[in-house]
Amino acid sequence: MFIATLIAAGRLDDRMVDRALGLLRELDPKARFGAWIDEGDAVDLHVSGDAKAVRWALESLPEVDVVVQPPEPRFRKLLVADMDSTIIGQECIDELADFAGLKREVAEITERAMQGKLDFKAALRERVALLSGLEEDAIARCLAERVVPNPGAATLVRTMRVGGARSLLISGGFLSFAEPVAKMIGFDTVRANRLLFDGTQLSGGVEDPIVDAQAKLEALIEERGKLGVEAADVLAIGDGANDRLMVEEAGLGVAYRAKPALAEIADARIDHHGLDALLWAQGIRKKEWVCG
């Protein structure tokens, strides 16, 4: 049996629930109503069968996010999250490149890399090389002027932390951005790439080893081992091809407003809500959220 959670904040009514049950009963005649998590916002339905088929059926509902998962474990003990375009709404390297007048050139490379059309390490080195000579203070300006958390990011992290979960922010971007973002949002630990400097200017290089898809996977497995938890206890979320391995490894792997390369393999997609929707996916009522 699976729990299928429908999320449509402020719009979820009995009519929509009945429509969802009708879709599910074409797959499982015994599909049934479970319980409201928050009436009007999120509801659990119970269904048996193939999880992907259940998800595909329910994703035909307009502007509804759907999470299909086994009943246990519901609350995850480890959150692993990508940063750029996931926890924050920006690609930091693209925004930093804007200070050098190179945003369009760098953003084009970033997009192709996130689609999985370029080797990530080579694409990162190519983009960083373009930033050679940029003054270090551009990073602080970029953080202050451009970097904004995505809706619900802090609420997700802080509520899970209060529940006893640990959180890891892992980025194919840079520590210069990831460490302040992690502190702002409330992550326990962070991993990212380190930019190299020549005095007060970017040298155009990045320190090895580069945090790529394999490194993200290994970090998830390492953190999981430290906590002594199983794969099922892990929630991982990202948006691009570079997040694919860690999302596949997690018990609940989520694509957040993601590129097709990730969306097609994730256990669930969040396309219409903020990151705090993943608290409903874990059965947590809004009155228990720790708002960020």
Phi, psi (deg, nearest 5) at residue 163: -80, -5
What's the CATH number for 75-292?
A: 3.40.50.1000
Characterize the bridge pairing of strands 252-256 and 234-238: parallel
Q: Hey, what are 139's tokens? A: 């990073």
CATH of 1-71, one of 3.40.640.10, 3.30.70.260, 3.30.565.10, 3.40.50.2000: 3.30.70.260
User: What global pTM score does this model have?
Assistant: 0.95
| Helix count and strand count (H, E) for the chain | 12, 12
- Which pLDDT score is estimated for 292? 77
Tens of pLDDT, residue by residue over 37-52, are 999 999 999 999 999 9
Q: What residue ranges do the domains of the chain occupy?
A: 1-71, 75-292
What is the sign, positive or negative, of the torsion defined by CA atoms of 79, 82, 85, 87? positive
- Which pLDDT score is estimated for 71? 96
Q: Which residues of the chain have pLDDT under 50?
A: none
- Which pLDDT score is estimated for 85? 97
198's CB contacts (< 8 A; 6+ apart) are none
- Judge whether 73 and 231 are in contact, CB under 8 Å: no
Q: Based on the residue annotation, tell me whether 137 is a catalytic residue of this protein.
A: no
Alpha-carbon span 225 to 220, nearest angstrom: 9
Cα distances (Å, whole numbers) of residue 115 to 180, 212, 239: 27, 14, 10
Q: Which of 82, 94, 239, 276 is catalytic?
A: 82
Q: Based on the residue annotation, tell me whether 82 is a catalytic residue of this protein.
A: yes
Give the orientation angle of helix 14-25 with respect to helix 51-58, to 10 degrees: 140
Tens of pLDDT, residue by residue over 222-273, are 999 999 999 999 999 999 999 999 999 999 999 999 999 899 999 999 999 9
> Three-state DSSP class for 1?
coil
- Which pLDDT score is estimated for 22? 97
Alpha-carbon span 211 to 193, nearest angstrom: 6
Q: Which of 84, 94, 239, 243 is catalytic?
A: 84
